[in-house]
């Protein structure tokens, strides 16, 4: 037992009729990186929330460093040496890095002395763990990769020896994810214990020492990472063999369904985010847009969807003009055959306080099939939701459940079902599988390919380069707001990477 950092014995937790954790047993060795994987809704985040004190287990025991502990809240977890980096960062955006690190851990009655002491300790941690970040920078001004460093620094500042990271690469670019892995390896070398929750099996194989697999609330296996494979882990997660490669035939492009010409978009500060972008998307093809996050992809999708005003440019939908520089009405665009799966499902795609059935028709609630004159037809709405739940395997299968109570991947399925089942002529999708497990990724990819094969025009934005290459018929690469190149899906990762960094793009522009 001397080398066991965390042991969970018989952890059981239910939320009403939902049995989230069923008699879970787990051992995590000291100084290792231990992965926990499972489908969305498998119970892995619930289990870690119990370990961090957000939830209380109905039964079971938590042992830290060989001693039974009672963790009633996050303060008790911190006192036991456990820190957590959440999937959605717990930072105050208009506070500085230093203020966020100190928040809740101030240890001086004279605040200035506390700040000075914290600054010294923060600099030590930054240097020791290669987590450099400007302590006086406002959180809202930092890219997500640096915000994540702040979350790790917060945990280390509170003397955490055990770090739980929940889907840490869900908002990171590939380069930022690689840097995070180097940081985690360094933390491990310093004797820290890391528990990594992720749905990305390649990350599990690359970074962990051991991996435990959860399925439908149960712990079904633990493997030494070097002795397992992506295929075995995927099968353990889902309970069946999973197709890990996208299977698609040649596309048969037809007429242009979406035409974007000379589109320029500025943000609220007047900074040009989309710079004179032009391209077409035809019926029966998937056009993927690759690029490091923050290079204008988000603003491009929002302008096409009518959410953000463009400065100049034209957009044609089914050959007819869309007013992207003046009055914009997303409802009108939906009626004209455009569906939009937004990148940020929490702030744009869903109302988390609404029931699943309400979100399943959001934006389409004026449709005659959902109303009896001026009143909504609740029975029809719930029946429609139940059909989508069954078709898209949304868990738990409860149309009355508040959407906030679904896992991130199941929330994504709710949005996808709502938009895809309308049969749009043009589907624009931002980050289709962000925070989604391997089984659901397989399902979503199949649905996207099916839509292409049904003659739909699909515009896809993803920071997952493998996803772009697997799904796209043509790939456009954006850098600094411009389309800097077009490639086939056979292009190498290195070739696309140079374009994403702006290197090859500048050369092509010069030629």
- pLDDT higher than 90, residue 238: no
Name the percent of the chain lying above pLDDT 90. Answer: 55
* In 239-370, alpha helices (H): 297-304, 330-335, 356-359
Q: For 457-471, how does the pLDDT look when each residue is reduced to its tens digit (9 = 90+)?
A: 999 999 888 899 999
**Would you give the DSSP letter of residue 20?**
E
> Which residues are CB-neighbours of 152 under 8 A, at least 6 positions away?
85, 129, 131, 163, 183
Predicted model pTM: 0.70
Structure tokens at 235: 């099968």
Structure tokens at 94: 């208009």
Q: What is the pLDDT of residue 166?
A: 86
> How far is 345 from 362, CA to CA, in rounded Å?
12
Q: What is the pLDDT of residue 242?
A: 65
Residue ranges of domains in the chain, CATH in brackets: 4-238 (3.40.50.300), 245-337+423-511 (3.40.50.300), 349-417 (no CATH)
Q: What is the pLDDT of residue 244?
A: 60
272-282 β-sheet, strand order: 272-282, 256-266, 312-317, 320-322
> How far is 90 from 118, CA to CA, in rounded Å?
19
Residues 211, 204: contact at Cβ < 8 Å? yes
Q: What is the pLDDT of residue 49?
A: 92
With DSSP H G I counted as helix, E B as strand and the rest as coil, what are the percentages for the chain, rounded to 5?
35, 25, 35
Bond into 396 cis (ω within 30) = yes
Q: What is the pLDDT of residue 510?
A: 46
Per-residue confidence band for 177, with pLDDT thresholds at 50, 70 and 90: confident
Query: Stretch 316-340: mean pLDDT, rounded?
Result: 92
């Amino acid at each position: 037992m001397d080398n066991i950092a965390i042991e969970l014995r018989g952890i059981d937790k239910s939320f009403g009729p939902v049995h989230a954790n069923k008699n879970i047993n787990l051992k995590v060795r000291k100084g290792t990186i231990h992965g926990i994987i499972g489908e969305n809704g498998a119970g892995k985040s619930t289990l870690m929330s119990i370990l961090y004190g957000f939830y209380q287990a109905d039964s079971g025991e938590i042992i830290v460093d060989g001693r039974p502990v009672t963790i009633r809240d996050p303060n008790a977890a911190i006192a036991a040496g456990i820190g957590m980096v959440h999937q959605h960062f717990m930072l105050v955006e208009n506070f500085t890095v230093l203020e966020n690190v100190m928040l809740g851990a101030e240890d001086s009655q004279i605040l200035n002395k506390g700040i000075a002491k914290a600054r010294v300790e923060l600099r030590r941690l930054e240097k020791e763990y290669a987590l450099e970040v400007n302590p006086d920078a406002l959180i809202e001004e930092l890219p997500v990769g640096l915000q994540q460093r702040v979350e790790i620094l917060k945990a280390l500042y509170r003397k955490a020896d055990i770090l739980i990271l929940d889907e840490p690469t869900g908002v990171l670019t590939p380069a930022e994810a690689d840097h995070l892995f180097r940081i985690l390896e360094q933390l491990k070398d310093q004797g820290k214990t890391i528990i990594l929750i992720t749905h990305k099996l390649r990350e599990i194989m690359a970074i962990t020492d051991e991996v435990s697999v959860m399925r439908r609330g149960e712990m079904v296996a633990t493997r030494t990472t070097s002795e397992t494979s992506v295929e075995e882990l995927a099968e353990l997660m889902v309970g069946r063999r999973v197709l890990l490669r996208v299977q698609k035939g040649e596309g048969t492009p037809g007429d242009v369904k979406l035409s974007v010409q000379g589109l320029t978009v500025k943000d609220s500060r007047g900074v040009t985010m989309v710079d004179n972008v032009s391209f077409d998307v035809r019926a029966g093809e998937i056009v993927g847009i690759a690029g490091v996050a923050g290079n204008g992809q988000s603003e491009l999708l929002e302008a096409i969807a009518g959410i953000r005003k463009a400065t100049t440019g034209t957009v044609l939908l089914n050959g007819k003009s869309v007013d992207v520089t003046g009055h914009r009405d997303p409802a009108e665009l939906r009626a004209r055959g455009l569906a939009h799966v937004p990148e940020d499902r929490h702030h744009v795609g869903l109302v988390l306080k609404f029931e699943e059935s309400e979100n399943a028709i959001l934006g389409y609630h004026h449709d005659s099939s959902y109303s009896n004159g001026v009143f909504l037809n609740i029975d029809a709405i719930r029946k429609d939701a139940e059909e989508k739940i069954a078709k898209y395997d949304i868990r738990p299968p409860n149309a009355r459940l508040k959407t906030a109570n679904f896992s991130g991947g199941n929330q994504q399925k709710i949005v996808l079902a709502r938009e895809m089942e309308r049969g749009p002529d043009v589907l624009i999708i931002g980050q289709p599988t962000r925070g989604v497990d391997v089984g659901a990724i397989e399902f979503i990819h199949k649905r996207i390919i099916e839509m292409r094969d049904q003659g739909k025009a699909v515009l896809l934005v993803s920071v997952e380069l493998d996803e772009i290459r697997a799904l796209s018929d043509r790939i456009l690469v954006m850098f600094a707001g411009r389309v800097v190149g077009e490639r086939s899906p056979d292009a190498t990762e290195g070739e696309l990477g140079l374009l994403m960094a702006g290197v090859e793009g500048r050369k092509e522009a010069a030629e």
